[in-house]
Amino acid sequence: MDYQNYAAYNDEGLLTFMRQGDVAAFTELYNRHFKSLYTVAENILRSPDVSKDIVQEVFTAVWQNRERLQIMYPKAYLQQAVRFQVLKAIRADKTDSEFYKRLAQVSQDMVVENTFSYKELQRTVDELVQSLPDDCRQAFRLSREQNLTYHQIADKLNISVKTVEKKMSQSLRYLRVALHKSEISH
């Protein structure tokens, strides 16, 4: 495959090629994410060399472990790996007077980003639940929002427990597939 074509693949597709030892796919993933990962590290560490080294280490580890890694969300995985390495670098340099300020900044960034990610995920799930067929949506909400058992849902909806199980299974399968597709498209 021609290297130029890799730009058309999402990160998940690049990982698939990488697991097979495809250096061009790895290069595309690296080029796609290096700058943003470097910026995360540099904003906290204020050290261009250390920041570059951290990002290089993360990508090196990804390449070396490519066959074993089970990464569902490559961008989030890479960001978290860089943050982890940044924390390690900060901990290793505790004598630095700015250590606690940088540690606080890393913690704050993680909380803000995780809160944003959670809210975004919640909004996506809400939209997907809304798109379920009425009977599946009703059973799903009774289970998840009102914490009713399948027996209670069956009584409330005047259907069998087996029907509730089927509707919940359909709903969960739909949500799982749709969420996976949603993450890949981002």
The tens digit of pLDDT for each residue in 75-128 reads 888 988 898 888 888 777 643 556 556 656 665 665 556 555 656 667 777 888
**Per-residue pLDDT at 47:** 84
Between the two ends of the chain, the Cα-to-Cα distance in Å is 24
Concatenating the DSSP letter of every residue in 20-58 gives TT-HHHHHHHHHHHHHHHHHHHHHHH--HHHHHHHHHHH
Residue 158: strand, helix, or coil: coil
pLDDT class of 29 with cuts at 50, 70, 90 = very high
92 and 163, same structural domain?
A: no
Please determine, for residue 145, whether its predicted confidence score (pLDDT) is greater than 50.
yes
What are the percentages of helix, strand and coil residues in the chain, rounded to 5? 80, 0, 20
Residues 46 and 101 reside in one and the same domain: yes
Domain count, the chain: 2
Residues 108 and 138 in one domain: no
Does residue 139 share a domain with residue 111?
no
Q: Which of 118, 150, 178 is the last residue of a domain?
A: 118
Same domain, 52 and 99: yes
pLDDT-based confidence at residue 2 (cuts at 50, 70, 90): very low
Contact 1, 175 (CB under 8 A): no
Predicted confidence (pLDDT) at residue 138 exceeds the cutoff of 60: yes
Q: What is the pLDDT of residue 176?
A: 77
The pLDDT value recorded for residue 94 is: 45
Output the pLDDT for position 183.
Answer: 52
Q: How far apart are CA 100 and CA 135, in angstroms?
A: 53
pLDDT at 95: 39
Rounded distance between C-alpha atoms, residue 80 and residue 60, angstroms:
15
CATH label of the domain that carries residue 41: 1.10.1740.10
Q: What pLDDT does residue 1 have?
A: 44
Buried b (16+ CB within 10 A) or exposed e, 96-123: eeeeeebbebbeebeeeeeeeeeeeeee
pLDDT band at 53 (very low <50, low <70, confident <90, very high): very high
Q: How far apart are CA 62 and CA 24, in angstroms?
A: 14
CATH code for the domain of 141: 1.10.10.10
**135 shares a domain with 89:** no
Residue 147 half-sphere exposure, CB side, CA atoms within 13 Å?
A: 0
Higher pLDDT, 98 or 28: 28
Residue 58 CA, chain-centre distance (Å), reads 16
Q: Is the pTM of this model over 0.85?
A: no
86 and 164, same domain (yes or no): no
Q: Per-residue pLDDT tens for 147-186?
A: 888 899 999 999 999 999 999 888 888 877 776 665 544 4
Q: Is the pLDDT of residue 142 over 70?
A: yes
User: What was the pLDDT predicted at 104?
Assistant: 63
Report yes or no on 125 lying in a domain: no
**Quick one: pLDDT at residue 116?**
56
Cβ count within 10 A of residue 177:
11
